[in-house]
């Protein structure tokens, strides 16, 4: 039996605490939303198969979440190492989280692969559609974030982990960008640690076990 995906891409999710990083990952992998997640539980890892139909490719996303360490800014090189994609998340109702995205991007640029595909994600759009007290006013206009993303060479999308809007799309856009880099030879299939070409394996379980063996980058 051959593997049911063509590539494995490693993704990291960064941004301020409480912007919804864990919620985005849970939405992607479990299609659900927790209004009051236990912050101590966090989420560290999630994996999901996505299809890019126009490329005829199935991608296995392996996503690493900062799981609480963001408050200590103690994220190590090993977290960034080997990532092919990054979701840089802020909260559209928090100007501070958008301002801080600059620092997170600086961290990514310092520690991660220079070719990594990064998408800026403005999360919690559902809150601005709701009247008070359930909702919260938007503090970051779409155009402003879009402009900054363009200046920095980032992809950009607004999303809601609560409604699920654009969550999968965010990962898809980044995955498309990575595929494009592979095609152009920027990412080398098997030598870039964040990108792995699938090998025929007896079953998916054995590849799951391989995920801890990215030691040689």
Question: Where along the sequence are the contacts to ligand GDP (CB under 6 A)?
Answer: 17-23, 34-37, 39, 123-124, 126-127, 160-162
- Smaller CB separation from ligand GDP, 34 or 50: 34
- Smaller CB separation from Mg ion, 42 or 164: 42
Q: How far is the CB of 168 from ligand GDP (least distance, A)?
A: 14
Q: How far is the CB of 20 from ligand GDP (least distance, A)?
A: 3
Distance in angstroms (rounded) separating the CA atoms of residues 69 and 161 = 20
Tell me: does residue 97 bind Mg ion (CB under 5 A).
no
**Cis peptide, bond prior to residue 133, ω within 30 of zero:** yes
Tell me: does residue 62 bind Mg ion (CB under 5 A).
no
Tell me: does residue 166 bind Mg ion (CB under 5 A).
no
Q: For helices 167-183 and 21-30, give the axis angle rounded to 10 degrees.
A: 80
Q: How far is the CB of 32 from ligand GDP (least distance, A)?
A: 11
Note the helical H segments in 7-117.
21-30, 77-80, 95-111
DSSP 102-150: HHHHHHHHHHS-TT-EEEEEEE-HHHHHSPTTTS----S-HHHHHHHHH
Which of 13, 20, 22, 26: binder of Mg ion (CB under 5 A)? 22
**Contacting range for Mg ion; rule: CB under 5 A; set: 13-21, 79-87, 133-141, 197-205:** 13-21
Which residue has its beta carbon closest to Mg ion?
A: 22
Q: How far is the CB of 71 from ligand GDP (least distance, A)?
A: 9
201 DSSP 8-state letter: -
Q: How far is the CB of 24 from ligand GDP (least distance, A)?
A: 7
CA distances from 135 to 27, 42, 93, 138, 180 (A): 20, 24, 9, 9, 38
């Amino acid at each position: 039996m051959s593997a049911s995906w063509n590539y494995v891409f490693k993704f990291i999710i960064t941004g301020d605490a409480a912007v919804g990083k864990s919620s985005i990952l849970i939405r992607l992998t479990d299609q659900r939303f927790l209004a009051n997640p236990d912050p101590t539980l966090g989420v560290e890892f999630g994996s999901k198969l996505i299809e890019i139909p126009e490329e005829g490719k199935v991608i296995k996303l392996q996503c690493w979440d900062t799981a609480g360490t963001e408050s200590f800014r103690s994220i190590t090189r090993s977290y960034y190492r080997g990532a092919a994609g990054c979701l840089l998340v802020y909260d559209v109702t928090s100007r501070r989280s958008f301002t801080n995205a600059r620092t997170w991007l600086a961290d990514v640029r310092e520690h991660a692969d220079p070719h990594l595909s990064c998408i800026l994600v403005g999360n919690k759009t559902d809150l601005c559609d709701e009247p008070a007290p359930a909702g919260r006013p938007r503090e970051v206009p779409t155009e402003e974030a879009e402009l900054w993303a363009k200046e920095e060479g980032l992809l950009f999308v607004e999303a809601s982990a609560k409604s699920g809007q654009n969550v999968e799309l965010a990962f898809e856009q980044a995955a498309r960008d990575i595929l494009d880099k592979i095609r152009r030879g920027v990412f080398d299939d098997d030598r870039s640690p964040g990108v792995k070409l699938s090998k025929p394996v007896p079953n998916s379980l054995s590849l799951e076990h391989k995920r801890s063996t990215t030691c040689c980058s």
